[in-house]
Amino acid sequence: MEKNQLGDILNFYRDLGVEYLNIKLKKEKKSSKNTFFYLEKLKREVENCKACELYKTKKHYVFGDGNPNADLMFIGEAPGANEDEQGLPFVGRAGKLLDDLLKEIGVERKDIYIANCLKCRPPNNRDPQESELKACRSFLDNQINLIKPGVIVTLGRFALMQLLGNDKKITQSRGIVFEMGIYKVIPTYHPAYLLRNPKAIEIFVNDLNVAKKYLRI
Ligand code: SF4
């Protein structure tokens, strides 16, 4: 709230004869202007990255996309063919399914931020290698620390392991709320898995509802 807005409100109540107000000022979570600026700076760093061999075979770096002020952040594995083509995350069939399932819990794509562990597509969608995940890790950590979401939902086993450790199994960890520093992390299935196993959609939506309970805004 601007200082002069607060002054106007206090004058309004004083004119009404009110002598005492118990006002709690809400602290701004962060400046979205600064977050946007630093995300753009980080994006330029990613676009010059040659820290692993994947930069040679990708078409586009896929940095991440969404609301820099989001309280809910999704982390996937790596760009697929559509993402590599367009330079944006989750724009293929799996992304469309994610959008539809988000709507079921009353959340829209514009409200969230989404990024992958790897910013370059592994050839033929092969699994990410440990050395690649390690090389790309600092970009993801910086994105998380700039966005400062209340809740992070990891999609699939690689995002789960990247954030919470290699010993974690998706079937045992999904839907559980883990604490990672100041962040709540809730693992669930990758939307690409849901395309192959539609029976798991209900579980996925339940996990999203768990995440929704912990949102601060
Ligand atoms: Fe760099 Fe990550 Fe791309 Fe590897 S995947 S080249 S670490 S941006």
Domain region containing 47: 30-213
Mean pLDDT, the chain, whole residue set: 91
One-letter amino acid of 58: K
Q: Report how many domains make up the chain.
A: 1
CATH number, domain of 150, equals 3.40.470.10
Residue to substitute in 46, 53, 55 for testing ligand 1 pocket (most ligand atoms within 8 angstroms of CB): 55
- Is residue 94 within 6 Å of ligand 1 at its C-beta? no
- Is residue 115 within 6 Å of ligand 1 at its C-beta? no
Q: Which atom of ligand 1 is nearest to the CA of 46?
A: 8
Query: Would you say residue 1 lies in a domain?
Result: no
Could you tell me the distance, in angstroms and rounded to a whole number, from the CA of residue 83 to the centre of ligand 1?
Answer: 15
Query: Would you say residue 132 lies in a domain?
Result: yes
Q: Quote the percentage of the chain above a pLDDT of 70.
A: 85
Q: Quote the percentage of the chain above a pLDDT of 90.
A: 83
Query: Would you say residue 134 lies in a domain?
Result: yes
One-letter amino acid of 215: L
pLDDT per residue over 15-74, tens digit each? 666 666 655 444 445 567 789 999 999 999 999 999 999 999 999 999 999 999 999 999
Could you tell me the distance, in angstroms and rounded to a whole number, from the CA of residue 173 to the centre of ligand 1?
Answer: 27
Contacts with 185 (C-beta within 8 Å, 6 or more apart), sequence order: 151, 152, 153, 154, 163, 164, 177, 178, 179
pLDDT per residue over 163-199, tens digit each? 999 999 999 999 999 999 999 999 999 999 999 999 9
Sheet holding 65-66, edge to edge: 65-66, 113-116, 72-76, 151-155, 183-188, 178-180
CA 66 vs CA 49, 75, 112: distances in Å: 21, 12, 6
Query: Would you say residue 8 lies in a domain?
Result: no
Query: Would you say residue 119 lies in a domain?
Result: yes
